[in-house]
Structure 1
Amino acid sequence: MYRVWNFVTNYSLLLILGALIALVWANVDAHSYHVVVEYPLWFNDYVGISLEKWVKVMGEDASAFGIHETEKVLTAHYLVNDVLMALFFAIAAKEVWEAVILKNGSLRGKKAATPLFATFGGMAGPIAVYLGLAAIMGSETYDAVANGWAIPTATDIAFSYLVGRLVFGAGHPAVRFLLLLAIADDAAGLIILAIFYPSGDLAPVWLLLSFGAALGVFFLANWLPRKLDRGDQTRRRSTWVRQKLNFWPYAIAGALSWFGFAQSGLHPALGLLPIVPTIPHADRAFGIFSEAEQYLTDLLNQMEHALKHPVEVVLFFFGLFNAGVEFKDIGDATWLVLAGLIIGKPFGVLLFGWLGAGPLKLGLPQGMKTSDLFVIGCVAAIGFTVSLFVASVAFEPGPVQSAAKMGALFSFGAALLSIVAGKLTRVQKQPG
């Protein structure tokens, strides 16, 4: 349990602190909060939101910063959401990559089949509930909120895992099932962000820069030294690259890849994803909360450990710059996001998990029963981090975006729902 709590304190407590400060600040002095979030750090022609959009968002406050003739503005909000959050998504991508590609990876083989079916249900269910209820509310509401359909599909991996252990006990097979579902959910979420939520007009040719940087750094800093070292037990070239160049080739490639994503119209926060698979990694997976991971010395794990504290700070500012919602903005989108999470998730996971385990004969882990799928769905309804992020890109700043963000914040209530569901379905806690 210490390892889990350590992960949560590393990556989530500062995020919550930032979110709480934002909520208080926005409801005490919304104007100053708004100005700080959209504060211009650099007027330029290369990076940031368009000057026209920034002037629209800032309103009358834009004139206080003078008249500029640049094309873009690097704001505090853009720096956090579009630049620095790339580090957070790189860490998420690292876990997904290891789960898929490495020996003993949690998303490999038949053991992952039923969780993958349940993941699909955990995304289809929230979408159906969100859009279905929006349609019932009328065409005006539907048109206003429809683009937020992906917000309730997310699962906050750290908090869901912690709550899952509280509900099931550390030794229950449902906890591992939940972790597999959450990892697969993260992978699907990254794909959804890339495909359905571009940050601007698409210019796919710029992706050649991103993938060219990935191929180049893999060839020069990974594959070539290993090939030249064949037959050399001292591995001189690989050792020189590792000791002298260390992470720098990948950092440079990452910067190029990020810029390629930003110019291509895909969300730049995903810009480091092509680089993650090129970094030398361990030959087998031990699991996201495995004690063994802290002792691994491969470059990919070393980089993850080095990023731990910077990402903590990034998540604090992410919470601070995204959770500042005024309570008066609670509206239809709030309840639609919440309904998608706390209704769509549990029933979607139950239905598709049952389909995979029963009719398709993929089975459930020994010690799990069908009713556990519903409880897992309740736990997975904690959206928070990624739900907040999707809400920030799905809608333009304004009442609808604020209402949707409040729904993501309210999803913490799913923790209580999970405990109640566990009691009602008579979950037998199994200590680890």
Structure 2
Amino acid sequence: MYRVWNIISTYSLLLITGAVAALVWANIAPESYHHVVETPLWTGGPFGTIGPDGVRVLTLHYLVNDMLMAFFFAIAAKEVWEAVILKDGSLRGRKALTPLIATLGGMAGPVAVYLLIAVLFGVLGEIQHGWAVPTATDIAFSYLVGRIVFGPGHPAIGFLLLLAIADDAGGLLILATFYPSAPLVPGWLLLSFGAAAAVFVLCNWLPRRLDRHKQDRPNSTWVRRVLGFWPYAIAGALSWYGFQQAGIHAALGLLPIVPVIPHAERDFGIFAEGERHQTDLLNSIEHAVKMPVEWVLLLFGLMNAGVEFSAIGAPTAAVLGGLMLGKPVGILLFGWFAARVLRLGLPKGMEMRDLFVLGCVAAIGFTVALFVAAVAFAPGPHQDAAKMGALLSLLSSFVAIAAGRLAGVRRVDR
């Protein structure tokens, strides 16, 4: 059983604190809120959004969303990477197939419902670019609600975490592929992947190569003790800059560096407590940035959840419908297909009714949905309405609790 309560509850509490503060501020003094969020901090520098005059402008919103949130996505990518590549990884082999196939349904269902609602409202041409907003699952809130519905010992909790992390991995891929932040200049990616390759060769492969047949491993030891994480920090900065210049969302800029950092030999599970005892560099870096990322999420909520209640519109209905209807139906249908038709089965102790209720839990979009909404739409009514849909998806927690009771889900507390 994954012991993720402390990290997830902390992320959730700070994130929702920032979101509530933003909602109150934006509805009491909207001009003041937007002035603070969008006030230029640095004009003409190397970082920021490109303005109409071709000059980059660094705002508080850009600082949080594009620069600081890179650490949040790096932590998520670290969990995905370890789950895929390491021995006993939770996304390796046959045991991960049903959750992964259910994840596809949990992304396809919301897109279909979003586009259908847009057609019914007659605004498909105006809001179709936001089709990816309801594909996300908020790991933090879905885990908290999942514990309430299923109990901490239910196998559906592990299934939910696998689905949520795979869902967010898909979200990162969608962001990189379909939502460039500027005109694409792919040549700059050579800087990002070149930095990753260089730091891997110079600080990982080459020292081990030089240490062949040397039991004391002097070169690897020197790199680890003297250089530490600094080469990877420099490579990360270069990779981030390459993503910004390439026009791909800069918050994803640390992703190429994560796989080349020395990691543990086996996976203990997504956000597992056993990782805190690991001394490998990747886990050490995660532990170092964990607390700053908690406060980054508070700032993220503050910078992105400030929408006025009057902003509710067609995008709100499309996002909310995609999450609260498309997500559980898609997860149920694709999960049923994997478990019954493909005969992959469900985890022992989990039933088909649990799969639908799990889909209701996964309908909480919030964090990544807010992020995608800010990227998919230009600032204005459509963006605010889509963000409102992401915020209102928190209502799925009550729907999930009610669905669990109606379906007769049996809690497993240990």
Q: Which amino acid aligns with 1:78?
A: Y
Q: Give the CA deviation at 1:2.
A: 10
Distance in 2, matches of 1:77 and 1:392, equals: 10
The residue aligned with 1:268 is: 250
> Which letter does structure 1 place at the counterpart of 2:251?
A
Q: 1:114 aligns with which of 83, 92, 98?
A: 98
Quote the offset at 1:289 in angstroms.
Answer: 3.7
Alignment-mate amino acid for residue 16 of structure 1? I
State the match for 1:9 in structure 2.
Answer: 9
Partners of 2:140 and 2:21 lie apart in 1 by 21
Instruction: Give the CA deviation at 1:298.
Output: 0.4
Structure 1 position 178, deviation (Å):
0.8
Question: 2:366 aligns to what?
Answer: 384
Pick from 69, 73, 76 the counterpart of residue 89 of structure 1.
Answer: 73
CA contact (8 A) 2:2 2:271 kept: no
Q: Offset at 1:8?
A: 2.2
- Asked if the contact 2:196/2:260 (under 8 Å) is kept, the reply is yes
Cα 1:3/1:357, change in 2 over 3 Å: closer
1:154-206: CA deviations, max 9, x gaps? 00112111211211112211111111111110111110000000001011011
Amino acid of the structure 2 residue aligned with 1:322: N
CA distance in 2, matches of 1:49, 1:4: 36
C-alpha separation in 1, matches of 2:54 and 2:249: 21
SS in 2 for 1:285: coil
CA contact (8 A) 1:10 1:308 kept: no
- Range with greater deviation from structure 2 (113-122 or 7-16): 7-16
Which among 115, 125, 135 is matched to residue 153 of structure 1?
Answer: 135
Q: Tell me, in whole angstroms, the C-alpha distance in 2 between the residues paired with 1:47 and 1:322.
A: 20
Residue matched to 1:282: 264
Which residue number corresponds to residue 144 of structure 2?
A: 162
Q: Which amino acid aligns with 1:17?
A: T
Q: Secondary structure at the match of 2:137?
A: coil
CA distance in 1, matches of 2:198, 2:42: 31
Q: CA offsets per residue over residues 248-298 of structure 1, 9 Å max, x none? A: 000100011011100111111000000000000001000124221111110
Alpha-carbon distance, 1:78 to partner: 0.7
Q: Give the Cα–Cα distance (whole angstroms) in 2 for the partners of residues 136 and 279 of structure 1.
A: 48
Alignment gaps of 5+ in structure 2? none
Aligned partner of 2:121 in structure 1 is 137
One-letter amino acid of the structure 2 residue matched with residue 103 of structure 1: K
Q: Which residue of 2 aligns with 1:393?
A: 375
User: Displacement of 1:3 after TM fit?
Assistant: 4.2
In the TM superposition, 1:186-335 aligns within 5 A as 186-335=168-317
Query: 1:77 corresponds to which letter in structure 2?
Result: H
Q: What's 1:360 paired with? A: 342
The one-character-per-residue Cα deviations of 1:371-422 (angstroms, maximum 9, x if unpaired) are 1110110010011100000000000000110010011111111111111111
Q: The residue matched to 2:341 in structure 1 has which SS?
A: coil
- How many Å separate the matches in 2 of 1:158 and 1:229? 42
State the partner residue of 1:127. Answer: 111
- How far off its partner does 1:45 sit? 4.8
Which digits, 9 at most, give the CA deviation of each residue in 1:19-41, with x for residues without a partner? 11110000011111111001111
Contact 1:217–1:253 under 8 Å retained in 2? yes
Q: How far, CA to CA, are the matches of 2:140 and 2:89 in structure 1? A: 19
Give the match for residue 32 of structure 2: 32
Percent of pairs with identical residues: 67
Is the Cα contact below 8 Å between 1:156 and 1:384 reproduced in 2? yes
In the alignment, does 2:59 pair up with 1:75? Answer: yes
**Distance (whole Å) between structure 1 residues aligned to residue 222 and residue 165 of structure 2:** 35
Map of 1:61 onto structure 2: none
Deviation string for 1:352-387 (max 9, x for gaps)?
Answer: 000000111111111111111101100100111000
Task: Determine the C-alpha separation between the residues in 2 that align with 1:324 and 1:136.
Answer: 28
Which residue identity does 1:25 align to in structure 2? W
1:100 is the counterpart of 2:84? yes
Partner of 1:44 in structure 2? 44
Q: Which moved more, 1:221-230 or 1:402-411?
A: 221-230
Provide the secondary structure at the position in 2 that maps to 1:42: strand
- Structure 1 position 81, deviation (Å): 0.6
Look up the SS of the partner of 1:12 in the other structure: helix
SS of aligned partner of 1:392: helix
Q: How far apart, in 1, do the equivalents of 2:165 and 2:78 lie? A: 11
TM-score normalized with structure 1 length: 0.94
Q: Which amino acid aligns with 1:98?
A: E
RMSD, matched Cα: 1.3
CA contact (8 A) 2:2 2:158 kept: no
Tell me the distance in 2 between the aligned counterparts of 1:213 and 1:43: 27
Residue in 2 that maps onto 1:172: 154
Q: Deviations over 1:87-135 (max 9, x none)?
A: 1100000000011100111111100011111000000000000001111
TM-score by length of 2: 0.98
Aligned residue for 2:35, secondary structure, equals helix
Superposition deviation, residue 12 in structure 1 = 2.2
> Quick check: 166-175 or 347-356, which moved more?
166-175
Contact conserved, 1:382 with 1:414, CA < 8 A, in 2? yes
Q: Secondary structure at the match of 1:358?
A: helix
Helix, strand or coil for the counterpart of 1:363? coil
Q: Say if 2:304 and 2:370, in contact at 8 Å, map to a contact too.
A: yes
Question: Is the 1:17–1:316 Cα contact (8 Å) retained in structure 2?
Answer: yes
Number of residue pairs aligned between Structure 1 and Structure 2? 414
